[in-house]
Structure 1
Amino acid sequence: MNDFLPITKIPRTGLPQRALVVGDPERASAVAGLLTDSVLIGQNREYRSFTGTWRGVPVVVSSHGVGGPGALCQLGELAEAGVRTFLRFGTAGALRADIADGDLVIAEAAVRDDGVTAQLIHPEYPAVATPEAVLALDRAAAAHQRHAHRGVVWTRAAFSPMVLELPMRDYLAARVIAIEMELSTLLVFAGLRGLVAGGVLVIDGNATVDNDDPTSYDPHRQVVADAVAAGSAVALDALVELT
């Protein structure tokens, strides 16, 4: 057995207890660039992981790619290596007209439409954020004067529909506020392991009308880039507040 875990290629032991997880490896690099003494500790496939310090507290920043199954592989190896507190920092589509591009959404819970957690535990088991994580993110957003909304987000495996119609109308009626692809996997994983977890998402568009042309999606706009840059500090500040 070598000194590195097989999927992420991070060290098997000795990681800081707090991790910020993101989808995009380039976002992991950008967030790691904000840290003091940032070091690349593992890179394989979509997984890129760093350690460093934020406000004097050791942290991990690691990417998991797109979708719940791949994220689950990353989460398991981070926990194996010593992480006990996880925050996801990503992007999402708004499901409410008053939630604008660049706003933050702080997840209180998630709809488990992720394609993987149904294979881990019965569907009645909830995907809920740790209350302390929600409150820490709320305080950090306020301190940075970022417009933030709290509520339930919808995690779904399919990026766009094909033959089956997705139940967008049902979740709009249920007051779900945003949609993304990985958070419920984190919340269920953390719940089953007794870990701390939460998530904050930057809005990169409005998803109230499900578009069957995924090429029309355009997250690469300045308002989104600026919000991701500002949201990185929000997420890191909340992360180091948690124990």
Structure 2
Amino acid sequence: MPHYALPHEIMYHTGLSPEMTEGARYALVPGDPGRVEGLAKALDDKAVFVQSHRDFTTWKARVAGETVLVMSTGMGGPCVTFAVEELARLGVVSFIRVGTTGSIQENINPGDVVINRGAVRMDGASKAYAPIEYPAMADMRITMALEEAARELKVPYRTGISVSTDSFWPGQERYDSFSGYVRRSLQGSLAEYRALGCTNFEMENATLFTLTSVMGLSAGSICGVVAKRTDSEAIVPHEVYELAEKRFQQTVKRALEMLIGHFMITL
């Protein structure tokens, strides 16, 4: 039995209440609080600030006549659980992760976008909700809308499976950390996941996809490529980063218009 928030109840971690969210059914959930304002204004130039509490900065926009929340989750799976749990209590049913990622395939370049249809569960948080055998899968309807939007806008994209980790350095087999050490069990993992056809490393998809599936909700993900791990550990120059950001902003806005429009037609 779902436990929805009472009319004036304020969520402990996000600081949000039903009055603040105005019945929003869709939420875009970037990790970085600094990305929220720009993303909200890309959806709607009249977007408004709602609340900032802990890792969770929230803005509100209107897309196709409907309220859409843009709320940061912070980095990593544990923070995602707070966001999904509390937004679900406030009535959100569809989540789209919008962020950045590092590609691990030669044909995925900086500035491209990756639309993930699933994730390898190398996180820890999702294991509190479902056994490791349970798949971390994106919602097909949201994934297809993101793909269609990217094609329409001529945004270069790939659809694939991400590897979601709790560690940015050894978990993604990076050797540019303070110690430079990667555990023996993780050495060679990047090459293995590349050989398995995985497209990218990131830190939130597995938790988001698992939770929303378990809860009967839906989720998708679109990330801009800001590092190409087949070439270098380095983050791309600022202008390429901005290009990736512009592309995922445009794509997710068009996808939301499609999703909301389809829902209104089918009512």
Fold in common (TM above 0.5)? yes
State yes or no: 1:123 paired with 2:132.
Answer: yes
Separation of aligned partners in 2, 1:148 and 1:60: 25
Q: Say if 2:77 is the partner of 1:68.
A: yes
Q: 1:67, 1:160 → 2: CA distance?
A: 13
Q: Which of 218, 233, 242 is the aligned partner of 1:225? A: 242
- Which entry has the higher C-alpha Rg, 1 or 2? 2
Q: How far has the Cα of 1:126 moved from its partner?
A: 0.2
The 2-side partners of 1:29 and 1:56 are apart by 19
Q: Which runs of 5+ in 1 are unaligned?
A: 212-216
2:228 maps to which of 193, 206, 229: 206
**How far off is 1:152 after superposition?**
0.7
Is the Cα contact below 8 Å between 1:15 and 1:60 reproduced in 2?
no
- 1:210 offset after TM fit, Å? 8.8
For residues 92-120 of structure 1, give each alpha carbon's deviation from its aligned partner in whole angstroms, at most 9, with x where no partner exists.
10010111000011111100111211122
Q: Please, which runs of 5 or more residues in structure 2 have no aligned partner?
A: 1-5, 171-180
Any conservation in 2 of the 1:49–1:60 contact (CA below 8 Å)? yes
Q: Select which of 188, 196, 202 maps to 1:174.
A: 196
Give the aligned partner of residue 30 of structure 1: 38
State the match for 1:9 in structure 2: 15
CA distance in 1, matches of 2:255, 2:75: 23
Give the counterpart letter for 1:191 in structure 2: S
Higher strand share: 1
1:93 corresponding residue in structure 2 = 102
Matched, 1:113 2:132: no
1:6 counterpart letter in structure 2? Y
**Structure 2 vs 1, CA of residues 79 and 210 (structure 1 numbering), >3 Å: closer, same or farther?**
farther
* Aligned-partner residue type, residue 227 of structure 1: A
Question: Which of 150, 161, 181 matches 1:152?
Answer: 161
CA RMSD of aligned residues (A): 1.9
Instruction: Tell me the percent identity.
Output: 29
Instruction: Name the amino acid aligned to 2:107.
Output: D
Whole-Å separation in 2 of the counterparts to 1:220 and 1:11: 39
> In the alignment, is the contact (CA less than 8 A) between 1:24 and 1:63 conserved in 2?
yes
Q: Secondary structure at the residue paired with 2:29?
A: strand
Identify the match of residue 20 of structure 1 among 28, 36, 41.
Answer: 28
Distance 1:65 1:97 in 2: 29
Asked if 1:40 corresponds to 2:49, the answer is: yes
CA deviation string 1:132-176 (max 9, x = no partner): 111100011111110010111111111001441422222111110
- Work out the CA distance in 1 between the residues paired with 2:208 and 2:221: 9
Query: Counterpart in 2 of 1:214?
Result: none
1:236 aligns with 2:253: yes
Structure 1 runs, 4 residues or longer, greater than 3 Å off: 12-15, 208-211
- CA distance in 1: counterparts of 2:105 and 2:217, whole angstroms: 30
Partner Cα distance (2:207, 2:256) in 1: 19
Q: 2:47 is aligned with what amino acid?
A: S
Q: Kindly tell me the number of residue pairs found equivalent between the two proteins.
A: 238
Distance 1:65 1:184 in 2: 15
Q: Name the CA distance, whole Å, in 1 between partners of 2:258 and 2:24.
A: 14
Aligned AA for 2:86? E
**Structure-2 separation of matches of 1:22 and 1:163:** 28
Q: SS at 2:124's partner residue?
A: coil
Would you tell me which structure has more helix in proportion to its own residues? Answer: 2
Asked if the contact 1:105–1:201 (Cα under 8 Å) also holds between the matched residues in 2, the reply is yes
TM superposition score normalised by structure 2: 0.84
